[in-house]
Each structure stands twice: as structure tokens, then as C-alpha cells.
Amino acid sequence: MKYALITVRKIKNIKNFFPYAVLIEGENLKEKILKGFKYYNAIIFIGSIGIITRYLKLMSKSKLFDPAIVVLDEKLRYCIPLLSSHFGGALDLSLRIEKEIKSISVITTATDTQNLIGIDLFARRNNLIVDKKENIKLINSKLLNEKKISVNLPNYFELPKYYITSEKADVCYESGGKILNLIPKDLVLGIGFHKNENADYIYKKYLELIDVKFRNRIQILVSHEKKWNTKVFHEFSRKINVTHTKGYNNFELQKAIDKLNIDKENIVKKHMGISEICRPACFLASNNMEELITIKDKNIKFSIFRIQKYWKNPYLEEDIPEVIK
């Protein structure tokens, strides 16, 4: 996950309070916020909530795609999860900040105010997604009003208060839920693209070529480290709202190619020194040979592999390339 730190005014040593975040520098506040929206999964904004709210008007899209945004005053007294509290992780970011630097989390969401774990927050914390987003409200209302929801989930999930296990349940795993299902984010997407392609075009092709049943489950976006080092790669990762990315070097990829036994002479090898990027990168990230799809369209290639064991911490900060700092 990529964390951006944006301040309205210069604040001395502010970076020290958020060591996991990149301080976005520059004179123009609007450009800094735009950069945050374009490349980062979470924005820590220090300044007036009215200012960021007015910019959100221009930038926010939907609760499923917007970055998490938390707002703190300059004295770091309060931390307000403003946008994407549950799916985006703003609430948990705020709680982390509270724990680490003692800012008070100002929580306004109904379930959290009542100390209940809504189904969307439960999903986020367990790297799951919800199949029928419009029904989240139904489950959370039950939680708030009846203090009880019925679930049928694998027993390695730790159930929050008022989640009662039942065979025919409102909430099931993968399928069978009367109201909705929780789906694991258990896929890795590998991507290769020509350096002239832009993120909008790659995203368009992605929507065209990759079935929605795969798209929802993607946990990690991977490629060659040269691609990972481009703006386009990270802009695309935000468009598909993936919070983990990784780039591999030739040495790592060649080892994977050898293991997969897919080496050959081709134009990619001539340019990059290795014959293929998508499949070996997916293999490295998934630690698994289960290839679900590999598809190529002119200058763009996608592969999807199933992850053997999915990444446990959905909030893990990751390396950030210089080009988007």
C-alpha cells in the first residue's frame, strides 16, 4: 500500500510522525492532491478539512475506487477518516495514527461509533471483497438494529461480536449467502506493456479482456522492475484499486522462467534480456503454478495466477519508485 503525506503549510519534521508515508512536495496544493489521488492508496492530509473536501469534488469517483483519506489538524490533535473508511482503509489508518502518535480518531461511521465491525470493514481486514456491494447496508443495519448477523465462513476467520455461525447464513464464503458473499482476493495480475502505452488505454484493455470474476479478486499487481518504475504502472494500479505492487529483476524472472520451463528466443528477450515477464512475475508473487489466464493484445499482455496463500496484511506499506514521489 502506498501512503502519501500532504500538508497545506510547511510543517517542520512532519515526516517523522509518518515514517511509512511519502511526503509529497511542491508549491501547488491542488497538484499535490492530484498526485496523491493518481498514484497513492492512502492520503494523510494535514490542514483544513474544508480545503481537501473542496478538492475532492474534482477528484473523487466512488467508495470502491477512491484512496483512503484521513485529515489531521496541524497540531496533530485529531485524525478524521474522511473518505473510504472501510474499503479504502481510512478507519484503520486513523486507528494506527492514534496508536502511534496519540492523535484522537474522530469516528463518525455508525457501526464503528457503536463499536461494531461492519461487514465491509471485516472484509477489508481479511483481504476479502463483497460480491453484492449494494447489500452491505442490509447487513450492517442488521448488526446495528438486531445485534446479530448469520455467517458461514471457513474456521480460520476470527469472527467479530454478533457474527453468529449458521449453516444457511446471510453471509457466506464464495457462494450461498442469502444476502451477500465474501470472496477472497487470491489472484495476482502480471502485466507487460510497451513504454508508449498510457494507463487509460491499458485499463480499457483490461476491462475488455479480463472477466469481472477475475478482476474482483486481484490482490497484487506485478511486472518487471523497469515497468514498476514507471508512472503508468502505478496509475494503472490505482485504476484497478490494487494495493500491492511488485517489480522483479531479470535474475529473479529468469529463475522463474526456468522453473516454469517456458524459456524461448523472442523479441522480448532481445530487448529486455528475458523472454517473458507476466507469467514468471505472477509465479514469483503467487508462489504457485496455477495459471488462470494469459492474454495478449498488441502491446499489452496480462497473466493471472492464483496465490497459494494470500498476503495477510492488507495495510502493508510498500516501496515507492522515485517517479511518483
Q: Which residues sit at the interface with its own copies, rule CB under 8 A? A: 8-9, 47-50, 53-54, 56-57, 60, 63, 71-75, 77-78, 80-85, 90, 106-110, 113-114, 144
SS3 291: strand
Question: Residue 31 phi/psi, 5° resolution?
Answer: -65, -35
68 with 56: CB under 8 angstroms?
A: no
**Beta-ladder partners of 190:** 222, 303
- Judged by CB, which is closer to its own copies: 64, or 289? 64
Beta strands 180-184 and 171-173, pairing class: parallel
Q: Could you tell me the smallest distance in angstroms from the CB atom of residue 114 to its own copies?
A: 8
Q: Could you tell me the smallest distance in angstroms from the CB atom of residue 11 to its own copies?
A: 10
Give the whole-angstrom CA distance, residue 180 versus residue 172: 7
- Judged by CB, which is closer to its own copies: 75, or 309? 75
37 with 55: CB under 8 angstroms?
A: no
Give the whole-angstrom CA distance, residue 99 versus residue 95: 6
**Beta-ladder partners of 220:** 188, 244
- Judged by CB, which is closer to its own copies: 34, or 56? 56
Q: Could you tell me the smallest distance in angstroms from the CB atom of residue 26 to its own copies?
A: 17
Classify residue 167 by its DSSP letter. Answer: S
SS3 218: strand
| Residues 6 or more apart in contact with residue 289 via CB below 8 angstroms | 260, 283, 305
One-letter amino acid of 170: D
Q: Could you tell me the smallest distance in angstroms from the CB atom of residue 109 to its own copies?
A: 4
Q: Could you tell me the smallest distance in angstroms from the CB atom of residue 321 to its own copies?
A: 30
- Judged by CB, which is closer to its own copies: 26, or 176? 26
- Judged by CB, which is closer to its own copies: 91, or 187? 91
- Judged by CB, which is closer to its own copies: 32, or 301? 32
Q: Could you tell me the smallest distance in angstroms from the CB atom of residue 64 to its own copies?
A: 12
